[in-house]
Chains A and B, each alone.
Chain A
Amino acid sequence: MPEHEAGGSLATPAHEVRDFLRRRREQIAQRWADEPLFRTVFTASRDEAVEAGKAVVDALARVADAQQVEDPDAAGFSAVREQLARMGAARSRAGLSNTQVSSELAALWPPAENLLVAESDQASPEELRAWSTTLSVLLGTLRLVAMQTALSETQSLIDRQRLQLLEVATPVIKLWDGIVAVPLIGTLDSARSQVVMETLLNAVVDQHARFAILDITGVPTVDSLVAQHLMKTVAAARLMGAECVVSGIRPAIAQTMVHLGLDLGTVKTRASLADALGHCLHELGTNIVNAAPDGAGRR
């Protein structure tokens, strides 16, 4: 009975805490509703905040019942995960960092602790300490769950945005009959170069392009990996019967590439997009000439 070590190993403290949570559900929820975390999120009415608090207390009681006070993956938490995410998101929108939200969650402990101490005045100090520790661990786990939820929300946001970036950043432009160009902007990683390759090859088929220009003016740095991606794209386009020209290699990048010993080998390169277009037009047998000086253009 006199157990000072908290945790799920012994049935008593966790079940005591569960009983306490169930008994005092109403009071705890009432007090939590006054805490900034609940008060600022559920602004519509106090009842709403109290209801939300009750939901959290119920979840905690279920977790304590299952003897899983230290387990953030406990089944009991799944019911409040969405609510915690919403609360976390609301606090983040208000400009709070994750750390601040976490300390607001920590502020839920003292009210519950006070209630626990107040109601168990006949309990022995050892028992009280064990229950208190268990409650503390339980709330710590709740904090962890909230943080986990917030982090996974952030991660999914990043994933979504990365996907959007892939879609946005790779337009294929038709410059002339039979000539398409892709202006590459930003760092080329393998995922992006894959998308670039696919969209370029599809454009080659759709537009019946004999020439494809890869313009790397917007690529900040070229290392061996980027060069390899470029070579792959060029090779794939060549296999389909289109000729690739790489343009927009800035002087600094040209220097770097030579220093690194990168060999673009058989790839045709031109300094600017205009040069590349001129080259392709020449190969297509199309010539652009200035209007005759005595023509209609000027007089």
Chain B
Amino acid sequence: MSEGLSRPAAGHVPVLGLGDVLLVTLQGDLYDSTAHRLQQDLAEAIARSRVTGVVIDISGVEIVDSFLGRVLAEIAAQAELLAARTVVAGMRPAVAVTLVELGLTLPGLRTALTTEAAMELLARPVVPPRSGGGREGGP
């Protein structure tokens, strides 16, 4: 069942339900109010439809600021609380550089190159074991 298509008001981001996954596509400039509203919409949608994954496609976003970076991190955190995994897909190189320069490396966030890769990632049973790069005890 598609969500949030009741009234496509200005500054409204549609949230699409695809099986066990919610798909959100962000396009162009995103105002703070829109981002804030998306955060609320998503929380409600996850709780209502009991999905296991959220894919946020940001390949159409060319400019991010620290606020949007934080919103993405918060969406991921709140989805985690509702037992859904969030994957941010298609981040542009310039956007990635900007976020890193802003100091927002978003450590807990799952990322994928494309929406397709994100769906694949979510289709895998559990979180793949992310070893911390050969961390052992002393010699």
Please tell me if the beta carbons of A266 and B99 are within 8 angstroms of each other in the complex.
no
Contacts A208-B114, A236-B99, A264-B133: A241 and B93 contacting too (C-beta < 8 A)?
Answer: no
Counting chain B residues whose Cβ lies within 8 A of the other chain, the interface size class is 20 to 34
**Minimum C-beta distance from B68 to chain A (A):** 13
| Total chain A interface residues with beta-carbon distance under 8 A | 25
Pick from B111, B114, B133: contact of A239, CB below 8 A.
B111
B79 close to A (CB within 8 Å): no
Pick from B90, B93, B99, B112: contact of A198, CB below 8 A.
B93
**Docked complex Cα distance between A125 and B96 (Å):** 75
Contacts A198-B97, A205-B93: A241 and B133 contacting too (C-beta < 8 A)?
Answer: no
**Minimum C-beta distance from B1 to chain A (A):** 28
Pick from B101, B111, B132: contact of A240, CB below 8 A.
B111
Q: Beyond A205-B92, A235-B100: 8 further Cβ-contacts under 8 Å?
A: A201-B96, A208-B113, A208-B114, A210-B117, A239-B91, A241-B111, A265-B132, A266-B133
Task: Scan residues 74-117 of chain B and give those whose CB is less than 8 A from a CB of chain A.
Answer: 88-93, 95-97, 99-101, 105-107, 109, 111-114, 117
B134 close to A (CB within 8 Å): yes
Q: List 19 A-B contacts (CB under 8 A).
A: A198-B97, A202-B93, A205-B92, A208-B113, A235-B105, A236-B100, A239-B88, A239-B91, A239-B95, A239-B96, A239-B109, A240-B93, A241-B111, A241-B113, A242-B113, A264-B133, A265-B132, A266-B107, A269-B134
**Docked complex Cα distance between A236 and B100 (Å):** 6
A162 close to B (CB within 8 Å): no
Please tell me if the beta carbons of B105 and A239 are within 8 angstroms of each other in the complex.
yes
Please give me the 5 A-B residue pairs with the lowest Cβ-Cβ distance, nearest first: A201-B93, A235-B105, A241-B112, A241-B111, A241-B113
Per-residue interface assignment for chain A, residues 261 to 276, with 1 indicating a CB less than 8 Å from any chain B CB and 0 otherwise: 0001111111000000
| B residues lining the A interface (CB < 8 Å) | 88-93, 95-97, 99-101, 105-107, 109, 111-114, 117-118, 131-134
**Minimum C-beta distance from B46 to chain A (A):** 21
Task: Scan residues 197-223 of chain A and give those whose CB is less than 8 A from a CB of chain B.
Answer: 197-198, 201-202, 204-205, 208-210
**Minimum C-beta distance from A153 to chain B (A):** 34
Chain B residue at smallest Cβ distance from A207: B113
Please tell me if the beta carbons of A239 and B134 are within 8 angstroms of each other in the complex.
no
Please tell me if the beta carbons of B97 and A201 are within 8 angstroms of each other in the complex.
yes
Chain A residue at smallest Cβ distance from B116: A208
Which residues in B have their C-beta under 8 angstroms from that of A242?
A: 113
**Minimum C-beta distance from B62 to chain A (A):** 14
**Docked complex Cα distance between A197 and B100 (Å):** 11
A232 close to B (CB within 8 Å): yes
A237 close to B (CB within 8 Å): yes
A81 close to B (CB within 8 Å): no
Please tell me if the beta carbons of B117 and A267 are within 8 angstroms of each other in the complex.
no
**Minimum C-beta distance from A174 to chain B (A):** 15
Please tell me if the beta carbons of B117 and A239 are within 8 angstroms of each other in the complex.
no
Please tell me if the beta carbons of A241 and B117 are within 8 angstroms of each other in the complex.
yes
**Docked complex Cα distance between A239 and B106 (Å):** 8
Interface centre among B89, B92, B97, B109 (most CB of A within 10 A): B97
**Docked complex Cα distance between A237 and B99 (Å):** 11
Which residues in A have their C-beta under 8 angstroms from that of B97?
A: 197-198, 201, 236
**Minimum C-beta distance from A170 to chain B (A):** 14
Chain B residue at smallest Cβ distance from A202: B93
**Docked complex Cα distance between A264 and B109 (Å):** 18
Per-residue interface assignment for chain A, residues 218 to 250, with 1 indicating a CB less than 8 Å from any chain B CB and 0 otherwise: 000000000000001001111111100000000
Which residues in B have their C-beta under 8 angstroms from that of A197?
A: 97
Chain A residue at smallest Cβ distance from B101: A232
